């Protein structure tokens, strides 16, 4: 498949968006961008530097000092997030950041700051990106849009297991409460609320294994690229 496309994956918290986007990028030889990690990194910077995100002047000034990048860790075979040159992958996954990231993500200036960077990343196609507004705001013209859904109980259990594998302490009750509040805030924020794009394909992975989910998504890619290449002939 010589034709490269942009794949936008949206959905609620802990639906497995990052896992799917990362696996698709690996299989297709695409660039993978975890947009959620970018919002978490901004949240971490605010927290560590005593920035009051409700103070617009202080917050906008702080954004000028934030540089977010990604690199591939050959030891873990996973991408990792860097904040001003420092690896912060574990720090941004903590419950403390999870509890703060939705209100920070809802700030218009924060979203504009990161969306502009995300748009630049997709200029040359061949990219998978996951988040809340990738198919609606960041790449409204993405060739393939997937909207992931999953049962709330299953999402909470997956998130709980993921946190403990990373050595992050949290109870299942804390995880459930966090997901409920994030779902509400993500769907009701004024700037770029989470919703399914009209041309997105919904994928409910409640009863799917990661392998089944990946196979389904890769078939969508093949179909889309075949459709594009036929149209060019």
Q: What is the pLDDT of residues 147-193, one digit of tens each?
A: 999 998 999 998 898 888 888 888 999 999 999 888 888 888 888 88
List, in order, residues 6 or more apart from 7 with CB less than 8 Å away.
21, 24, 30, 127, 128, 129, 142, 143, 144, 145, 146, 221
Provide the CB-side half-sphere exposure for 52 (13 A, CA). Answer: 5
Please give the residue range of the domain that contains residue 53: 7-225
Question: What percentage of the chain carries pLDDT values higher than 70?
Answer: 99
* Residue 230 resides in a domain: no
* Residue 1 resides in a domain: no
Q: Could you tell me the CATH number of the domain that includes residue 97?
A: 3.40.50.300
* Average pLDDT for 208-228: 95
CA distances from 11 to 5, 129, 165 (A): 20, 12, 23
* Average pLDDT for 125-141: 94
Residue 233 has pLDDT above 70, yes or no: no
* Residue 148 resides in a domain: yes
* Average pLDDT for 22-34: 92
- Mean residue pLDDT across the chain: 92
Q: What is the total count of domains within the chain?
A: 1
- What's this model's pTM, rounded to 2 decimal places? 0.84
pLDDT tens per residue, range 72-104: 888 887 888 999 999 999 999 998 999 999 899
* Residue 2 resides in a domain: no
* Residue 142 resides in a domain: yes
* Residue 37 resides in a domain: yes
């Amino acid at each position: 498949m010589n034709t490269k496309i942009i794949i936008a994956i949206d959905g609620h918290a802990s639906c497995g968006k990052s896992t799917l986007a990362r696996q698709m990028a690996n299989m297709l030889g695409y660039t993978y961008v975890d947009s959620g990690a970018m919002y978490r990194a901004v949240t971490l910077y605010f927290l560590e530097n005593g920035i009051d995100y409700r103070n617009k002047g202080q917050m906008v000034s702080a954004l000028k000092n934030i540089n977010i990048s990604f690199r591939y860790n050959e030891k873990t075979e996973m991408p990792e997030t860097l904040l001003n040159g420092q690896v912060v992958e574990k720090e941004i996954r903590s419950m403390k950041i999870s509890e703060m990231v939705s209100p920070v993500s809802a700030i218009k200036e924060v979203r504009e700051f990161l969306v502009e960077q995300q748009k630049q990343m997709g200029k040359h196609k061949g990219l998978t990106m996951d988040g809340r507004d990738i198919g609606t705001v960041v790449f409204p013209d993405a060739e393939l849009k997937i909207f992931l859904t999953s049962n709330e109980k299953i999402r909470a259990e997956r998130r709980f297991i993921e946190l403990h594998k990373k050595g992050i302490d949290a109870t299942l009750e804390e995880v459930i409460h966090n997901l409920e509040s994030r779902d509400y805030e993500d769907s009701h924020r004024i700037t770029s609320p989470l919703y399914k794009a009209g041309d997105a394909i919904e994928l409910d992975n409640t009863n799917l294994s990661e392998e089944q989910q990946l196979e389904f998504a890769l078939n969508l890619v093949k179909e889309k690229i075949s459709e594009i290449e036929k149209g060019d002939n």
